[in-house]
Amino acid sequence: MAFLQEYSGQLLTKITEHFMLSMTALLLGILVAIPLGLLISKNKKLSKIMIAISSVLQTIPSLALLAIMVPIFGVGKLPAVLALFIYSLLPILRNTVLGMESVGDDIIDAAKGMGMTQTQIIFKVQVPLALQVIMTGVRLSSIYVIAWTSLAAYIGAGGLGDFIFNGLNNFAIDMIIAGTVPITVMALMMDLIFDKVETQLIKNYGRPVRNEGVS
């Protein structure tokens, strides 16, 4: 209780910083990975190359990637967001491609037989059927990014990692707990939120839409 009374204001600030850093990186990952996945899913060779590249980037140790960013972008939030963005790409990109490829050729042929254009097939047939797989990638990425954001403190980006690193340096268990517990709760909450979003999206859009122009 004494710890919370002393650091409550700072803790709220760090939680907000942590949330904003992780959600900014995740949003960038969604905006890049999903359209890219839709685009490359038609070319299996290209999709394998892109997924391989993103897989290689994700194998770079987190601290090493952050250290690489510092000489280029300096310290602070920008290099942290860029590093987290790179880490967010693979689960979303991979699941988007897998989801699109999982739609059977017979379904696509049927859509073509109805007179649908390629764009209509993608957005009215493939995306609705792939939606659950795509959202699973987003959920996984959100959990990973929230956890990895703790390392952003290493380059002065703030967040709950400040409490964890300070706790480790000063052998202060209460500070480590104060940084770790909110990260765990935040990850669980985001997983629950995206689960609800996924359920609602599948309910509203998760089925092929008939081409209105075909009688």
Q: Provide the pLDDT for residue 9.
A: 79
Closest CA to 154 of 5, 29, 21: 21
Q: Provide the pLDDT for residue 56.
A: 85
Tell me which residue has tokens 């690193």.
165
CB 93 within 8 Å of CB 52: no
Q: Is the dihedral of CA 159, 162, 168, 172 positive or negative?
A: negative
Q: Provide the pLDDT for residue 38.
A: 92
Using 70 as the pLDDT threshold, list the residues of the chain that sit under it: 1-5, 206-215
Tell me which residue has tokens 């991979």.
94
**How does pLDDT run across 26-75, given as a tens digit for each residue?**
999 999 999 999 999 888 888 889 888 888 887 888 888 888 888 888 88
Q: Provide the pLDDT for residue 1.
A: 59
Q: Provide the pLDDT for residue 212.
A: 42
Q: Provide the pLDDT for residue 42.
A: 83
- Please count the other Cβ atoms lying within 10 Å of the Cβ belonging to residue 204: 10
Q: Provide the pLDDT for residue 209.
A: 47
Q: Please, what CATH class does the domain formed by 11-205 belong to?
A: mainly alpha
What is the rounded end-to-end Cα distance, in angstroms, of the chain? 68
Q: Provide the pLDDT for residue 62.
A: 82
